[in-house]
Amino acid sequence: MKKYLFPFAIACIMACMSCSSGNGGMSATAKKNSESNAAIDKMIASGDLSKLGDYIDENAVDHSDKGDLKGLAAIKANLEEMSKMSENMKSVVKLDLSNDEFTSTWYNWTGTWKVDGPGMKKGESYSMEAIEVAKWKDGKAVEHWTFMQPADMMKMMSGTTPPAGGMEMKTDTVQKPASKM
């Protein structure tokens, strides 16, 4: 019996090792998507978008605050405009979830405004949280969505913060249809 214990233990270890891919259980495609997503973030933070086409498809769509930006050229132009408005931009990843088709990353973006505008004052630092979702196909992003904290979005758009207690809709101000008798 003892002579079978060592081979059995080796077989169990080998079986356990073969089940583990060594990358946290992510497939090779999911890992590539996550790494490509991180490379795009570094380009955005640095302002060097020269290799953006290595990671974003020529016909990609960015569902942005400006509507659907279609194509790599439109997306790149929008990111270039964004980099003209901000400096010292950094992102801290709070959570990254990736699979073979999507990446979903929760960020805290920080930086300093270089311009005055709605919600921006030149020289003022900012900190915004957002969840970025990208759809991937053949190693490149083909679609992108950003979901921001309402308070951060309102501050950017209007320079104000939402009222204390949140942004609930008041139902007592909604007109109710007249009933027919």
For the segment 6-50, what is each residue's pLDDT rounded down to a tens digit? 445 444 444 444 444 445 678 999 999 999 999 999 999 999 999
In a domain, 53, yes or no: yes
Within-domain flag for 42:
yes
Which string of DSSP letters, residue by residue, matches 24-62?
TT--HHHHHHHHHHHHHHHHHHHT--TTGGGTEEEEEEE
Q: How far apart are CA 1 and CA 129, in angstroms?
A: 60
Are the C-beta atoms of residues 55 and 40 closer than 8 Å to each other? Answer: yes
181 part of a folded domain: no
Higher pLDDT, 3 or 5: 3
Residue 100: the pLDDT is: 96
In a domain, 170, yes or no: no
pTM equals: 0.71
- 41 located within any domain: yes
- Give the residue from 49, 50, 41, 48 showing the smallest Cα distance to 110: 41
Q: Report pLDDT for 148.
A: 87
What's the CATH code of the domain at 35? 3.10.450.50
76 within domain boundaries: yes
Three-state SS at 23: coil
Residue type, 34: S
Structural domain tally of the chain?
A: 1
For residue 107, being part of any structural domain is answered with yes
Q: Where in the sequence is the domain holding 139, given as residue range(s)?
A: 22-161
